Amino acid sequence: MKNTTVFLILSLITFFIRFPFFFRDYIDRDESTFILLGQSWANGFLPYTQLWDLKPPLTFAFFAAIITVFGKSFVAIRFAGVLLVAITAFYNYKIASTIIPKKGSIIVGVFCIVLLSLFGSLQGVMSEHICIALFVPAIYLLQTKKSLGYIFFAGLLMGATVMVKLNMAFPILFIGIFLTYEAIFKKTNISFLHVLLFATGVITVIVGTILPYYITNQTYIWWESVVLAPLEYTGARRYSIFKLAPIFVITGIFLVYAFKSKKLDFKNRTIQLLLVALIGVLFSFAKGGRINGHYLIQLHPMLLILVAIVSYNLIIQYKPKLPVYAAFIALLIPAESYLEYANVLKNKFEKGTFFNGEGFAAPQYILEHNLDTENIIFFEYHIGYWNLDTLPPTTASTHPSNICRNELFTFYGNPRKNSVEEINYIMHELRPQTVVIRKGKRIFDKKEIEENEYIDAYLAKHYKVIATVENAEILQRL
């Protein structure tokens, strides 16, 4: 099949799996926050100047571009997510096809779609989806293209990757070291000029993100928000070693087996490049001290190709026959999508709209009942700010969990010193008339004991529930 045909097939599969989630409001808190900052940028405010979150600026630029072109459209944002996943899957197929047959490589592409689209909160558009759609094509260019122009373009893609997801600086650095090693010690087409152009491409994009801040005399805002704040956050918020261990153990066992059994040719340059990228991502996880489910999007494409190569060599060796029911099991994999299709149709039948979720329903109730939206606070479903065309009451509440991240307050000039002061300021000074929370759930993370006790007591004394809309409780100030 031609490349265009393969890309079309992978795009259609991606679209089928992700389409029913086009109409859901709330998939992940991070996506909702990216939309808010994208809207702020589309309105003329650089990231970190009106609203604030702990991501590099190109994450928000992606959403700002979609909003600028298509307006407030969940469908446009989620369709962009389809394109990101399809691009990643296609270049995964392209890399795999240099080592295993095309038929197996297409299966690699399909599994890439599944791992980037199902299980957890992956149906939304995450920063990991954006960065890996830049990173994997860059690896493909480094693997297959040797001309100076392509190497420079790969550097540009890598620079964009790190300005979407900062931890990707480690795999990019490792790849740079690998290219330098090739230029010095190996007889390849890679020279110091290639390495220099690759580095120049990376730096060009990073400098490009600084320019808007430099022009407006706000360079230090970029430095604080993009560099200093993530370093402080990494030091303050770390998982225990036991939470980090499983992915390292599983990957380590696989690589040891592949080496011992000789099912991976570690002298193959493509495999070496994939291994360097894989180790770089794992190193970034170790340095960051935490692994959320959606972080694994950064790992899956490279690991998937390596697993596919080992699997192909095992199939060649043992020639197993797949049972007929394997096809039936494969059709059951996107069960989440089937359930969401049913949910969308049910919502259309009962409420007359495909769009569903508290992020739509709660703002609709607020508008229909003319509730006060000045300084409204969404402790949950904060995509509601977008649907109400309003802003969070404070910079810290852009992402609800940021309220409890005391270590970050200084990086956006928050005059409050800790989370209890921030909550007190919002509730006692700003005095929002309307508050939205999630029914039956804690307001903040279970570790935030003092904050939860404070807000629970305050809401019980000063607010009453006036409506329950699906799982959202709407509270009105007494």
Query: Per residue in 174-210, pLDDT tens?
Result: 999 999 999 988 877 788 999 999 999 999 999 999 9
436 in the same domain as 304:
no
Q: Report the greatest alpha carbon distance in the chain.
A: 77
Report pLDDT digits (tens) over 317-376.
Answer: 888 887 888 888 888 889 999 999 999 999 999 888 999 999 999 999 999 999 999 999
The last residue of one of the domains, among 299, 320, 341, is: 320
Predicted local distance difference test score (pLDDT) of residue 70:
95
| 295 in the same domain as 189 | yes
- Same domain for 262 and 403, yes or no, is no
Do 421 and 279 lie in one domain? The reply is no
Q: Is position 214 within any domain?
A: yes
Q: What is the pTM of this model?
A: 0.93
Q: Are 168 and 148 in contact (CB under 8 A)?
A: no
Same domain, 309 and 368: no
Q: Are both 254 and 399 inside the same structural domain?
A: no
Specify if 345 maps to a domain. Answer: no
Counting the structural domains of the chain, the total is: 2
**460 inside domain:** yes
- Dist CA 472 CA 438 (whole Å): 5
Q: What is the pLDDT of residues 132-141, one digit of tens each?
A: 999 999 999 9
What is the CB neighbour count within 10 angstroms for residue 255? 18
Q: Give Cα separations from 46 to 17, 50, 77, 165, 224 (angstroms).
A: 34, 7, 20, 18, 14
Same-domain pairing of 316 and 383: no
| pLDDT at residue 235 in the model | 82
Residue at which a domain ends, from 320, 347, 375: 320
The pLDDT assigned to 216 comes to: 94
Residue range(s) defining the domain that contains residue 313: 3-320
Answer yes or no: is 336 within a domain: no
Structure tokens at 227: 């560099």
Query: Within a domain: residue 352?
Result: no
Tokens 């303050």 belong to residue = 236
Residue 134 lies in a domain: yes
Task: Give phi and psi for 72, each to the nearest 5.
Answer: -75, 90
Query: Strands 434-438 and 472-477: what pairing?
Result: antiparallel
Same domain, 201 and 114: yes
Instruction: Check residue 96 and give its pLDDT.
Output: 96
- 400 and 295 in one domain? no
> Is the same domain home to 189 and 236?
yes
What is the chain's pLDDT, residue by residue, as a tens digit (478 residues)?
899 999 999 999 999 999 999 999 888 889 999 999 999 999 999 999 999 999 999 999 999 999 999 999 999 999 999 999 999 999 999 999 999 999 999 999 999 999 999 887 889 999 999 999 999 999 999 998 888 999 999 999 999 999 999 999 999 999 999 999 999 888 777 889 999 999 999 999 999 999 999 999 999 999 999 999 999 988 877 777 777 888 999 999 999 999 999 999 999 999 999 999 999 999 999 888 888 888 899 999 999 999 999 999 999 988 888 788 888 888 888 999 999 999 999 999 988 899 999 999 999 999 999 999 999 999 999 999 999 999 999 999 999 999 999 999 999 999 999 999 999 999 999 999 999 999 989 999 888 999 999 999 999 999 999 999 999 999 999 9
